[in-house]
Amino acid sequence: MRLLLATHNQGKRREWRALLEGLDVELLLPDDLGLHDDIEETGETYTENALIKARALAAASGLPTLADDSGLEVDALDGAPGVRSARYHLGTDEVRYRALLRALEGVPLERRGARFRCIAALVLPDDAGTSREYITEGVCEGVISFEPRGEAGFGYDPVFYLFEHSCTMAQLTEAEKNRISHRARAAQAMRPILEREARLARP
């Protein structure tokens, strides 16, 4: 089954390729099909944003399309940055996570609880112009560290500390991250659906 991944982010592509390993799926990006239009994520929830991306690219390509939307929710900031995590501050990933650390200056460890949340949306178009849609969710709990550590990963990974691993998300190996991350958990829930659809798509 050809599956379009609704992202231009190479980090996400690597993660999803590893997470879907073993499935009878050819993973494509919009660039592979000459689809370069950026889709404005106007939703107020992760689910809305994931569906906006998946529906738009499924309609444009005619292919089964998988999108995800995720964010970091910090207890001391009333769940912010949340759905606006990628737009929390203009600039690079480092600019954003350092802005987050500044916002938490003086906040003690016991109030720095946080979680990464990911919603995955699969849109399966058909020849009649309709589609079937599936939604899965994954959550990873941690705390925001006092300083960044680690070189792997992307986004807020260097400041997201996992007590059970005694390190930040950015200090995990790719294989470790792909077992416990929020995206990994959403993907694990999506795998049976993709397995069934790949089986049905075989000639």
Weakest-pLDDT range from 37-41, 89-93, 151-155, 193-197: 37-41
Overall average pLDDT of the 112-133 stretch: 92
Going by pLDDT thresholds of 50, 70 and 90, the confidence category of residue 120 is very high
Overall average pLDDT of the 20-33 stretch: 90
Classify burial at 190, counting beta carbons within 10 Å of its beta carbon; exposed 0-12, middle 13-18, buried 19 or more: buried
pLDDT tens-place string over residues 152-165: 878 999 999 999 99
- Model pLDDT, residue 200: 84
Query: Cα(15)–Cα(23) distance, rounded to whole angstroms?
Result: 14
Q: With a cut of 80, say whether residue 117 has pLDDT above it.
A: yes
Going by pLDDT thresholds of 50, 70 and 90, the confidence category of residue 36 is confident
- Model pLDDT, residue 28: 92
Query: Domain spans of the chain?
Result: 2-201
Residue of 197, 49, 199 whose CA lies nearest to 125: 197
- CB–CB of 28/87 below 8 Å? no
Going by pLDDT thresholds of 50, 70 and 90, the confidence category of residue 141 is very high
Overall average pLDDT of the 47-62 stretch: 94
Q: With a cut of 90, say whether residue 51 has pLDDT above it.
A: yes
- Model pLDDT, residue 48: 97
- 2-201 domain in CATH 3.90.1150.10? no
Q: How far is CA 124 from CA 26, 55, 81, 86, 121, in A?
A: 15, 9, 31, 27, 10
- Which positions are catalytic? 69
Weakest-pLDDT range from 46-50, 89-93, 194-198: 89-93
